[in-house]
Amino acid sequence: MEELFAPPAYEWKRLSPKYRSMQMLTNMVIPPALLTIAAVIVGVTSGKWWISGLIWAVAVVIVIISPPLVTRSWRSWGYVEREDDLYITHGIMSRSLIAVPYGRMQLVEVESGPLERAFGLASVSLKTASPETGARIPGLTPEEATRLRDRLTELGEAHASGL
């Protein structure tokens, strides 16, 4: 089944390790902190500390299960620049492989939100002629995002001119 998600004779390029760190922060720190605050508020306002204990237990479970899930998710992401198309794969439980032909690309966009900028990361989004299709590669270094944007734009123009 794994060969379904691996194009032959190509090596997948992977996301930056900084992306994994950013995902760890957003999964292991922020939700448990909010749940802890909620547990304290419930305990103080209602006096039902057992409910607070349950909420806090959920926060502990999130902290325990997040590292392996984030790492597996990070490892699942990859992309391959082929001669005529770009392959993108990701997913743990439900694997996805997207093939975007260069000639079908309409727009290549580089994005970087506040948290991504804090970690020195950017994302490249691809839009095609169909509104239902497109692709996104998160967790790239700014240098790789710029290189990929320029290369995809160049290849898209070259392949579109042949239509």
Residue-level pLDDT at 78: 92
Exposed e or buried b for every residue in 52-86, given b needs 16+ CB within 10 A? Answer: beebbeebeebeeebeeebeebbebbbbbeeeebb
**pLDDT for the residue numbered 102:** 86
Indicate the pTM of the whole model: 0.83
Instruction: State the pLDDT at residue 14.
Output: 94
- What element of type H or E holds 148? helix 142-161
DSSP 109-132: EEE--HHHHHTT-EEEEEEESSTT
Identify the segments of the chain with pLDDT beneath 50: none
pLDDT of residue 5: 67
- Where does 79-161 sit in CATH, by number? 2.30.29
The full set of domain ranges for the chain reads: 18-72, 79-161
- Distance CA(18)–CA(121), nearest Å, equals 7
In this predicted structure, what is the pLDDT of residue 158? 76
